[in-house]
Amino acid sequence: MSGQSMPCSPQEIGALFLFEKLTPEQLGRLCGEGRVERFEPGPVYTEGEPATCFYVMLEGTVVLYRRVGGDDVEVTRTSQRGVYAGSMQAYLGDRVRQVYNNSMRVTEPTRFFVLPADTFADIMQEWFPMAVHLLEGLFFGSKSTQRAIGQRERLLALGSLSAGLTHELNNPAAAAVRATATLRERVGKMRHKLAIIAQGSYSPEVMAKLIDIQERTAERVAKAPALSPLEASDREDALSDWLDDQGIPDGWRIAPTFVQAGLDVDWLDQVAAAVDEEILPSAIGWLNYTVETELLMDEINDSTTRISHLVDAAKQYSQLDRAPFQNADVHELLDSTLLMLSGKIGKRIKVVKEYDRALPRIPAYPAELNQVWTNLIDNAVSAINSAGGEGALTVRTAPDHDRLLVEFRDTGVGIPAEDRGRIFDPFFTTKPVGEGTGLGLDISWRIVVNKHHGSIQVESEPGDTRFQVLLPLTSAEEEPS
C-alpha cells in the first residue's frame, strides 16, 4: 500500500536516532533517494509479501503483527519517533528470500521516511562495510548453528528412542529364546515317555483314552482362568494332596504347572476314572509334559506377539509407511511415543493416561507431532529425575471448544517464573551444559503453531507442571504443496 508523498527534510530525518551521526551529504543522499509518505489508518505492508521498502516512522502510531495459525497476533505497538521496520535484511541480497517477516499497520495518520530496499542495501554496503560483514556473520552463523544443533537434537532423540525400543524388544526376545530351549527339552522327554508307554501292554482302547485326555487337557490349557495368588495357592495345596494320595512322586513339583493350566481335582478325578490304577502315574507324567509344552508355546506366542506390537509401534511412531499429512488418532501417536520412550521413562515414574476416546481424528502431520510428544515427555522425565527420580507423568486429552487438548503433567521440579517466558526461545535451556540444546521446545512450538495452526502453553509450579498443546479439530486449508 502506498501513501501520500510529502517533502523530505534532511534536518527532520537527521534528528532521528537512526541517522543522527550522518553527515549533511549523507542525509542529502537519503532524502534524494528516499521519500516521505503519509499513511491513513490501515495496513502499510503484509507479512510474506516481497520486502521492497525500509520504513522509519517520523510521527504517528504503528502496530506490528505476526501471523500465528489463522490469527494476527500483535507484537509491538508504539508512537516512538524513529522506530523502523520493513526490509531490514536487504543487505543480504538474494542469499535470503526477501519478504516482510511481519505485518505493519497504522492506527492514526502517520508519516514515514521510506527507503527502497535496493537503496538501503547499497547504502549499508557502502557506508558500513564492517558492520555488514558482522551482521552477515551473525545471521548465517546463527542459521548454521541452529541447523546443526537441530540435527543433533534429532539424533539425541533417536538415541533415546533406540535405547528404549532395544530395551523393550530384549525382554520378549529373551523370553522366546528361553521358552524355545525349554520346549525342545520337554518335547524330548515327551518322546521318551511315549516310548515307555508304547512298550507297555496297553490296549488300543487305553491308548485312545490317554490321547483323548491329552487333547482335552490341551484345550483346557487354552481356557485357563486367571486366579488370584490366594486362589492359586489353595488349588496347588489341593492338587498336591491329591497327587500324594495317589502315590504320584514329586506331586509338589507338578501341582503348580497344573494350576497354571487350569486343572483342578475334579479334572484329575476324571483322569483317574478313565485309566487303570497301575498306569495312572505314567498318565499324569504324560499330561504334565503336555501341559508344559502348551504353556511354553503360549509363552512363545505372547513374546512374538509383543515383538510384533513393538515393531508396529515403531512404524506408527516414525510414520515411515504413511502419508506425511493425514487424519490421525492422537491416542495412537501418544501410545507409540510412550512405548518408544518407555526405557527412558523407567520403572520409577508412573505413567497415567487420561484419554477421552470419543475425540475425533484430526488433520495433522503425525511424525512431527510425535516429535513434539517426544520433546515434552523427555522434559517431563528430566524434571522428575531432578526432583528425586520418582513421580508421575499424566497424559490427558480432552475437547476444548473447536480444538483438541493434549496435556502433559509432571510432578517434577517445576519451571522458575523468570524462565517461563523464555523456554520456547531457540537455544534456551535450564539443563546442565551438554545435556540440552535448547531447541526441543523451539522445534515443538514451530511444529504446533506454524505447521498445525495450534498453540502450546505452560503452567508450572513445583510438583505440578503442565504443557498444553491445542490442535484444531478441522483443517483450515489443504495440505501445502
Residues 481, 465: Cα–Cα separation, whole Å: 37
Whether 154 is covered by a domain: the verdict is: no
C-alpha cell at 172: 520378549
**Average of per-residue pLDDT across 304-321:** 65
- The neighbour count for residue 28, using CB atoms within 10 Å, is 14
Q: Does 337 lie in the same domain as 302?
A: no
Q: CA separation (Å) from 213 to 196, 245, 286, 332, 401?
A: 18, 21, 10, 44, 62
At 81-95, the pLDDT tens digits run: 888 888 877 766 677
Please answer whether residues 28 and 9 qualify as being in contact, where contact means their C-beta atoms are separated by less than 8 angstroms: no
Whether 402 is covered by a domain: the verdict is: yes
How many domains are contained in the chain? 3
436: pLDDT confidence band, cut at 50, 70 and 90? very low
Q: CA separation (Å) from 306 to 56, 295, 297, 311?
A: 65, 16, 14, 9
Highest mean pLDDT among 62-76, 136-150, 354-368: 354-368
Q: Does 205 lie in the same domain as 169?
A: yes
C-alpha cell at 337: 511415543
Q: Does 371 lie in the same domain as 291?
A: no
- Residue 410: domain span: 324-472
Highest mean pLDDT among 81-90, 291-300, 365-374: 365-374
Model pLDDT, residue 175: 73
Q: Does 294 lie in the same domain as 331?
A: no
C-alpha cell at 329: 488418532
At 95-154, the pLDDT tens digits run: 767 888 888 999 999 999 998 888 888 888 777 767 666 766 666 666 665 565 555 555
**Average of per-residue pLDDT across 386-415:** 90
- The neighbour count for residue 92, using CB atoms within 10 Å, is 17
435: pLDDT confidence band, cut at 50, 70 and 90? very low
Whether 80 is covered by a domain: the verdict is: yes
Q: Does 370 lie in the same domain as 297?
A: no
How big is the chain by its Cα radius of gyration, in Å? 37
With a CB cutoff of 8 Å and minimum separation 6, the contacts of 8 are 30, 31, 34, 35, 36, 113
481: pLDDT confidence band, cut at 50, 70 and 90? very low
- Last residue of some domain: 276, 310, 344? 310
Whether 481 is covered by a domain: the verdict is: no
- Last residue of some domain: 127, 149, 181? 127
Share of the chain above pLDDT 90, in %: 15
| Closest-CA residue to 275 (of 248, 296, 295) | 248
Please answer whether residues 480 and 410 qualify as being in contact, where contact means their C-beta atoms are separated by less than 8 angstroms: no
The CA dihedral of 258, 261, 263, 268, to the nearest 10 degrees, is -50
Whether 237 is covered by a domain: the verdict is: yes
Share of the chain above pLDDT 70, in %: 77
Q: Does 452 lie in the same domain as 394?
A: yes
Reply yes or no on whether the pLDDT at 437 is more than 50: no
Reply yes or no on whether the pLDDT at 444 is more than 70: yes
CATH code of the domain covering residue 347: 3.30.565.10
Whether 338 is covered by a domain: the verdict is: yes
155: pLDDT confidence band, cut at 50, 70 and 90? low
Q: Does 112 lie in the same domain as 248?
A: no
Element (H, E) at 318: helix 280-318
Q: What are phi and psi of 459, to 5 degrees?
A: -125, 135
Whether 147 is covered by a domain: the verdict is: no
Whether 184 is covered by a domain: the verdict is: yes
Model pLDDT, residue 468: 93
Reply yes or no on whether the pLDDT at 416 is more than 70: yes
- The neighbour count for residue 197, using CB atoms within 10 Å, is 17
Model pLDDT, residue 329: 92
Element (H, E) at 363: strand 362-364
Residues 215, 225: Cα–Cα separation, whole Å: 18
Please answer whether residues 375 and 441 qualify as being in contact, where contact means their C-beta atoms are separated by less than 8 angstroms: yes
- The neighbour count for residue 325, using CB atoms within 10 Å, is 16
Q: Does 393 lie in the same domain as 275?
A: no
479: pLDDT confidence band, cut at 50, 70 and 90? very low
Reply yes or no on whether the pLDDT at 243 is more than 60: yes
Q: Residues 5, 98, 74, 426: is their CA dihedral positive or negative?
A: negative
Q: Does 250 lie in the same domain as 173?
A: yes
Q: Does 269 lie in the same domain as 383?
A: no
Q: Does 331 lie in the same domain as 422?
A: yes
Model pLDDT, residue 158: 55
